[in-house]
Amino acid sequence: MDSLRSLVADTRFWPSNAANTASLLWHLYQSLPAPSARVNWAGFYVASPSDRGELLLGPFMGKVACQVIRVGKGVCGAAAERGETVLVRDVEEFPGHIACDSESRSEIVVPIVVSGKVSGMLQCVGVWMGGGC
């Protein structure tokens, strides 16, 4: 947390802060013993500024990702719709899971709420079942 605080202390530009946060998460997981080191994606989706019920790909580290996710679809969309954290230990068991990457096996998605409204999502994807990062 101290590393993150020092990186974001002097800027209010959210894309820069989100990019550094995604990088720190990615490298933190990579430094852990298996299976935790087997994270293939850590990053953000942001609510569409046009308010069309979409989440748009934001800063991340890892494999390529879906660029647009509809609210209510997949794990990210479900977390956005519910406004609560969603932990999925086996993506094959999650109805409507969006497979942006075929290696993904577990996910955790945490909504970012500002003034009572979901403005983005922090997501971490693991390649092992039972994980959720």
pLDDT at 132: 59
Q: pLDDT: is 63 or 129 the higher one?
A: 63
Cα-based distances in Å from 114 to 29, 118, 121: 27, 6, 11
Please, which residues have CB within 8 angstroms of residue 122's CB and are 6 or more apart in sequence? 21, 43, 44, 109, 110, 112
- List, for residues 28-71, the tens digit of each pLDDT value: 988 988 887 888 999 999 999 987 899 999 999 999 999 999 99
How many helices and strands, by DSSP H and E, does the chain display? 3, 6
Average pLDDT over residues 112-131: 91
pTM: 0.90
pLDDT at 95: 92
Average pLDDT over residues 20-26: 92
- List, for residues 93-121, the tens digit of each pLDDT value: 999 999 888 889 999 999 999 999 999 99
- List, for residues 5-15, the tens digit of each pLDDT value: 787 788 889 99
pLDDT at 62: 93
CATH of the domain spanning 2-126, picked from 3.30.1240.10, 3.30.450.40, 2.60.40.420, 3.40.190.10 = 3.30.450.40
| Contact status, residue 35 vs residue 103, Cβ threshold 8 Å | no
